[in-house]
Each structure stands twice: as structure tokens, then as C-alpha cells.
């Protein structure tokens, strides 16, 4: 009898270990979940850099999360159910977070490139304005010198004429 019980549990272990790990109904597919979690991390980061007041976090955070769920055609209960499923399956969660990390890195890199372009445009416009300012100043100094010379020469001539 022990042999049959051991064989039964061994067979049960074999079938559960080799079963197909498809996502159950109501769980968000991995690709969509990767995009959702990427957005969640972006929203979390933006909320915690703006303000630490609990009321503000609740007020603005809830609206952002609801907007995100609406964009991905899901809701918070389905998201919670999916998170419970994926946290119970660490291999799938690790693969998803590898992709999430790549997504966040790509977004950060693209933002940094835009910031560099903006900073470069600012420095270019500042240097151009300095060049035009110095050009205007030197030009105005030349004009001023031209204007002063004839008056000085004229005043000297007047003095000479008066003495003669």
C-alpha cells in the first residue's frame, strides 16, 4: 500500500511540476504588465519628487493612477490580482523587471538627450547675445569717437581764431 501512496504523490508532484504556466483568466498579460509597471514607477517617482504631503500624494496620485489604468484598459482590482500572480511567480517577475529596467533606462536616456539639447541651445543663445552686445558696444564707441573729434577740433580752431 505504501508503494501506491508514494507513486500517487510522485505522480502528483510530476504533473504539478510539469504543468503549463499560462497566465490565468483576469491576469494582465506580461507585455502589458511590463508597460503598466513602467508607468507605475514613473508616476511614483514624479509623485515623490514633487511633494511629501500625504494629502497631496493621495489627491494627485489617485488621479494619475486612474488615468494610467484607463489608458491600458484595466482597473486597480485587475492590477492587484495580476501583481499577486506575478509575485507568486518570481521567474516571470524577474524577466519582467529586466525589461522594465531597460524601458526606464531608455526613457531616462532620451530625457537626458533632450535636456542636453536645451542646455546647448541656451548657451548658444547666450553666447550669441554676448557677441551682438559687444559688437554694438564697440560700434557705438567708434561712433562716439568720431563725434567727439570734430567738436574738439572745432573748439581748438575757435580758440586759435580768438587769439589771432
What residue segments make up the domains of the chain, in order of their start?
A: 26-148
d(CA 2, CA 7): 8
For the entire predicted model, the pTM comes to 0.60
3 state DSSP class of 164: coil
pLDDT digits 0-9 by tens, 55-100: 777 777 788 899 999 999 999 999 999 999 999 999 999 999 999 9
Place 120 in a pLDDT band, splitting at 50, 70 and 90: confident
More confident residue, 62 or 7: 62
| Distance, first Cα to last Cα, the chain | 147
Taking each continuous run of H as one helix and of E as one strand, the counts in the chain are 5, 0
Average pLDDT over residues 122-149: 64
Amino acid at each position: 500500500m505504501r508503494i501506491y501512496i508514494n507513486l500517487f504523490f510522485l505522480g502528483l508532484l510530476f504533473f504539478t511540476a510539469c504543468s503549463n504556466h499560462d497566465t490565468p483568466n483576469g491576469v494582465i498579460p506580461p507585455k502589458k504588465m511590463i508597460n503598466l509597471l513602467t508607468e507605475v514607477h514613473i508616476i511614483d517617482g514624479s509623485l515623490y519628487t514633487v511633494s511629501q504631503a500625504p494629502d497631496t500624494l493621495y489627491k494627485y496620485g489617485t488621479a494619475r493612477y486612474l488615468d494610467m489604468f484607463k489608458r491600458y484598459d484595466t482597473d486597480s482590482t485587475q492590477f492587484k490580482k495580476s501583481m499577486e500572480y506575478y509575485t507568486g511567480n518570481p521567474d516571470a517577475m524577474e524577466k519582467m523587471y529586466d525589461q522594465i529596467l531597460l524601458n526606464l533606462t531608455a526613457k531616462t536616456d532620451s530625457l537626458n538627450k533632450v535636456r542636453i539639447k536645451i542646455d546647448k541651445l541656451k548657451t548658444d543663445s547666450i553666447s550669441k547675445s554676448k557677441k551682438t552686445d559687444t559688437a554694438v558696444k564697440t560700434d557705438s564707441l567708434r561712433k562716439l569717437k568720431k563725434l567727439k573729434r570734430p567738436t574738439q577740433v572745432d573748439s581748438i580752431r575757435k580758440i586759435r581764431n580768438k587769439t589771432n
